[in-house]
Amino acid sequence: MSKEALGPMVEDLALRIRAQASARLRPIWLERRWACGLAAAAVAALIGALYLGLRGSTPYARRTISFPPAPKLNAALAAAQERLKANPQDIAALVEAGTLHFEQGKEHYVDAINELEEARELGALDPRIFYCLGIMYQEVGLYSFALDEYRRFLRHYPDDKEIRLLSAKLLYKQGSYREAVADYERLKFRHPGDSLIEENFGLSLWGAKEVDRAIESFNLLRGMGPEQARRAEFYLGQIFYDRGDAAASLEHLLKAEGRPASAIPGIEIDRLQAALAAAYQKLGQLTEAKNAWERVLAAVPSDAKAKVALKDVNRRLSVKKTKKG
């Protein structure tokens, strides 16, 4: 989900939870956690100078925690709510209601968070609390809270692949690159040859400024399939450009582009063309740079940097033509 889509969701969910909390006179955790959470969400929106976008599998495709099938879910929820009417501090019923509200989807997150956090306040340690809260906090952009819950869940299930992947990805997004590297190293040990893990491992190493190790990782990625090879070439092209080796950068980026040129899944065409344009421009290949910048603007007409760069290239081409004349 994009940051643009997350923004309104965070604001709406936070407002709903705070409004319902006032009406229900919920415990202090709610005010404290969400006041900090809104600040965290604002900071999270500013993160991403390096963020290239870690690869991800289908979110939450495999769940360690099992839930009843849909026809039985409503009945199970109604039973839990009846128990809460009789005893509002029934911990097992709070956990049951919270996990079932979570399973019903985003529209029920307010209830799910309230019930699960209240159960925790009362002393519950059921791993489903950590699992469900982690996913809900992540989906509304409260990444530091989600990480806390994932860590608690992983203490119970340390080899859970999906939650370890989510934890590592959030560490990366928050700029905790070395911690992300540690998580991906553990995943690599448990799941050797997994291209998703290898790619994200390389990106985390790059973020942690362990560039030589990142190059090694991307070179391994090149041997994991045609699409993975093109993605690796794209990353290597940027690394060598950053190192000042525009010729090596261009070589890698042309391999990433492919012949004939085609899109790389998960990498926007404008990013690849901008990287190519910059390499061409640095090497003085102005006509090729002009063409690449024009392709960037064809994909994203509002790209201000591309407009400035193209204007500079056209100016230099004009000067060059005048001198020849």
pLDDT digits (tens, 9 = 90+) for 71-115: 688 889 999 999 999 999 999 999 999 999 999 889 999 999 999
Which residues have C-beta within 8 Å of that of residue 251, sequence separation ≥ 6? 237
Q: Are residues 146 and 256 in the same domain?
A: no
Distance (Å) of CA 77 to CA 84, 89, 94, 132: 11, 16, 10, 16
Question: What is residue 56's predicted lDDT score, i.e. its pLDDT?
Answer: 58
Confidence of residue 12 (pLDDT cuts 50, 70, 90): low
Q: Is the pLDDT of residue 135 over 70?
A: yes
Residues 166 and 250 in one domain: no
Q: Is residue 96 part of a domain?
A: yes
> Does the residue 216 lie in any domain?
no
From the CA atom positions of the chain, what is the Rg in Å?
A: 24
Within a domain: 188: no
Q: Are residues 149 and 266 in the same domain?
A: no
Domain span at residue 135? 1-46+62-170
On the question of pLDDT at 290 being above 60, the answer is yes
pLDDT at 2: 39
> Number of structural domains, the chain?
2
Cα-based distances in Å from 207 to 48, 177, 212, 222, 235: 11, 6, 12, 19, 12
In a domain, 278, yes or no: yes
Both 158 and 253 in one domain: the answer is no
- Of 155, 170, 185, which marks where a domain is finished? 170
Asked if pLDDT for residue 15 goes beyond 80, the answer is no
Say yes or no: 161 and 263 in one domain: no
- Closest Cα to residue 207, out of 50, 19, 93? 50
Last residue of a domain, one of 140, 170, 200: 170
Residue bearing the bigger pLDDT, 162 or 72 = 162
Q: What is the pLDDT of residue 8?
A: 52
Q: Each residue of 240-285: pLDDT tens digit?
A: 999 999 999 999 999 999 887 788 888 999 999 999 999 999 999 9
Residue 307 lies in a domain: yes
Assess if residue 178 is contained within a domain. Answer: no
Residue that finishes a domain, picked among 111, 138, 170: 170
Shared-domain flag, residues 157 and 262: no
* Percent of all residues in the chain with a pLDDT value above 90, rounded to a whole number: 68
What digits encode the pLDDT tens for the residues 30-49?
A: 343 443 343 333 323 322 33
78 part of a folded domain: yes
Name the β-bridge partners of 264: 267
The identity of residue 157, as a single letter, is Y
Q: Are 97 and 80 in contact (CB under 8 A)?
A: yes
C-alpha separations of 279 from 23, 107, 201, 228, 319 in Å: 59, 47, 25, 22, 20
Q: Is residue 217 part of a domain?
A: no
Residues 7 and 99 both lie in one domain: yes
Task: Tell me the whole-structure pTM to 2 decimals.
Answer: 0.75
Domain with residue 302: its CATH number is: 1.25.40.10
